[in-house]
């Protein structure tokens, strides 16, 4: 069934895509939606007023999952990082990290496989 590297590539991309999709939806519905509701309930404006084509999910995951520094600036103009971090729970951090890891693996395997298999 899996005889060529191309077959293994397609299988790995499929598995990573499904994993990333589950992580994306889980983070969006369980973490991001709850954080936004609590922030608005407490009288603050929404921490990310602009949502490109779904990019707000990645901003939230980055703000929550990564330590403040070079890749997660506290003064990010697209999202209020300190405010979002204040409302994040340990489960939100784990879901955010899983989303970032699976998304980056999916992109890396897709690009590397696409370059090597052509």
In a domain, 2, yes or no: no
In a domain, 5, yes or no: no
| Structural domains in the chain (count) | 1
Residue 112 parent element (H or E): helix 90-117
pLDDT digits (tens, 9 = 90+) for 10-21: 899 999 999 999
Mean pLDDT of the chain: 90
User: Residue 69 is part of which domain span?
Assistant: 11-117
In a domain, 1, yes or no: no
pLDDT in tens, the chain (118 residues): 778 888 888 899 999 999 999 999 999 999 999 999 999 999 998 887 777 677 889 999 999 999 998 888 888 888 899 999 999 999 999 999 999 999 999 999 989 887 887 6
pTM of the entire structure?
A: 0.88
In a domain, 3, yes or no: no
The answer to whether the beta carbons of residues 72 and 66 sit under 8 Å apart is yes
Rounded to an integer, what distance in angstroms lies between the CA atom of residue 34 and that of residue 60? 12
């Amino acid at each position: 069934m899996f005889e060529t590297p191309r077959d293994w590539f397609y299988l790995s991309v499929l598995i990573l895509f499904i994993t990333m999709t589950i992580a994306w939806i889980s983070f969006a519905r369980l973490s991001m939606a709850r954080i936004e509701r609590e922030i608005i309930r407490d009288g603050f404006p929404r921490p990310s007023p602009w949502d490109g084509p779904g990019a707000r999910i990645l901003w939230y995951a980055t703000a929550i999952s990564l330590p403040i520094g070079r890749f997660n600036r506290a003064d990010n103009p697209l999202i209020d990082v300190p405010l979002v971090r204040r409302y994040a729970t340990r489960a939100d951090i784990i879901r955010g990290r899983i989303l970032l890891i699976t998304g980056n693996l999916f992109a890396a395997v897709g690009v590397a496989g696409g370059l090597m298999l052509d």
